[in-house]
Amino acid sequence: MIQAFIILGIVTLLSYLSQRHQQENGMENMRWDIYLIILTIFLILMFGLRKSYNDTINYRRGYKLSVDISTFLSERSNFDIFSNPLFYAFQSLIRTMTSNYTYFFLICACYINILNVSFIKKNTEIRNFAFSMFIYAAIGTMFLTMAAIKQALAMATLTLALNALMDRKYIKYYLIVFIAGLIHTYAWIFAILPLFYTKPWSFRTLLLLLITLAITYTFKSSIESILKVADQAGKTVAKEEVFDNNKMNIFRVGIYTIMPAITLLFKSYVNKDIDKKNSLFIQMSIISFMFILLATQNGANMFGRAANYFIYGYICAFPWVIRQIFTSQSVKIVSFAAIIGFTAFFLYDNRDFDKNYQHKTLKELIVESSKDQPIDNYNNNSDT
């Protein structure tokens, strides 16, 4: 827990220094944001040099067993669009060049963290950047980027799609969503998002909520019907993955409920002079909550992964929502209370972090690199 808390502190501090740097210099006079650069490098090294954490062992094993890129491309079965072909092609490409999994992790960490940090920086007000980065770390999204590489790569790719959507470039949006789905199939649920590019809690939002409540009430029969449709489309999801008696943790449900609840209770304040960007972000947080609602019944891992795809809306818009609802005198009090709550959840959620997280040093990586072995072309690919 101590390591996790230190990481949270470093991320928040560097984000705050970047925020102050921008406030003092302004965008016109600011060429280099050294604090943002340090923050990004810190995240890349912390996640890229890891040896163990969550699914890291499975990804290490999958990387070791992956084939070279020419062998991968020669197998037609590897091009099944529902089997994450772009991720495995990328993994094989890196595996062709080095047998050291750490380089693969570092490349992934560069892509993920550069896109994520820059997206949050771009889409939050200057005064809210540190708060948003704190939320990004505290609710677990930041740590997800080293727990589930496939999903994290797809999520980072979808930040590019979100920028396209906010620019009303729909063809570019759907093209990026399609590419993200080739990395991790769940990314294709983003196809519904343009339908909710409206003010929060519009008729469409309420209709989606009613559908979600209906599915929740008739969970087993409804989900079985959806799985049959997915199976006919070519995406097979094992029933055991959904009906695994694994329900979403009540504390995480509470965290995901906060934004939808306050935006519904204070709808008139939130929707007053709201811009398109924050409308989209709040709608995303509501969709994320609806997947979490399904996860309270069963299949916490599956529905939790789906919810994470929309969590950027929560991260970017929550500080704005607080400022929109509350008076300038009470914003500090409410923000402080939120920070305490998020921190408490973070400490609970990462209570075993120190036991699970291990990393290499740069010196160890250099020594390993001198012993790097060429790929064995007779290895078999593995799905992790």
Q: How would you write the pLDDT of the chain (384 residues) with one tens digit per residue?
A: 789 999 999 999 999 999 998 888 776 555 688 999 999 999 999 999 999 998 899 999 999 999 999 999 999 889 999 999 999 999 999 999 999 999 999 999 999 999 999 999 999 999 999 999 999 999 999 999 888 899 999 999 999 999 999 999 999 999 999 999 999 999 999 999 999 999 999 999 999 999 999 988 888 788 778 777 767 666 666 666 677 778 888 999 999 999 999 999 999 999 988 999 999 999 999 999 999 999 998 888 888 889 999 999 999 999 999 999 998 889 999 999 999 999 999 999 999 998 899 998 888 888 888 776 655 544 444 344
Short-list 63, 66, 44, CA closest to 55: 63
Q: What is the largest CA-CA distance in the chain?
A: 67
**Are the C-beta atoms of residues 346 and 4 closer than 8 Å to each other?**
yes
Q: Which two tokens stand for residue 298?
A: 């069963």
If phi > 0 it is left, if psi is from -120 to 50 it is alpha, else beta; for residue 68 that is beta
3-state secondary structure of 359: strand
Q: How far apart are CA 15 and CA 45, in angstroms?
A: 17
pTM of the model: 0.90
Q: How far apart are CA 246 and CA 297, in angstroms?
A: 8
Report the pLDDT value the prediction gives residue 380, as an integer from 0 to 100: 43
Short-list 78, 108, 94, 105, CA closest to 381: 78
What is residue 196's DSSP assignment?
G
Instruction: State CA 177 to chain mean position distance.
Output: 14
What DSSP line would sit under 86-143, residue for residue?
HHHHHHHHHHHH-S-HHHHHHHHHHHHHHHHHHHHHHTS-GGGHHHHHHHHHHTSHHH
Which distant-in-sequence residues (6+ apart) come within 8 Å of 311 by Cβ?
139, 141, 284, 285, 288
Q: Within 10 Å of residue 246's Cβ, how many Cβ atoms?
A: 16
Report the pLDDT value the prediction gives residue 384, as an integer from 0 to 100: 41
Report the pLDDT value the prediction gives residue 379, as an integer from 0 to 100: 44
Report the pLDDT value the prediction gives residue 234, as an integer from 0 to 100: 63
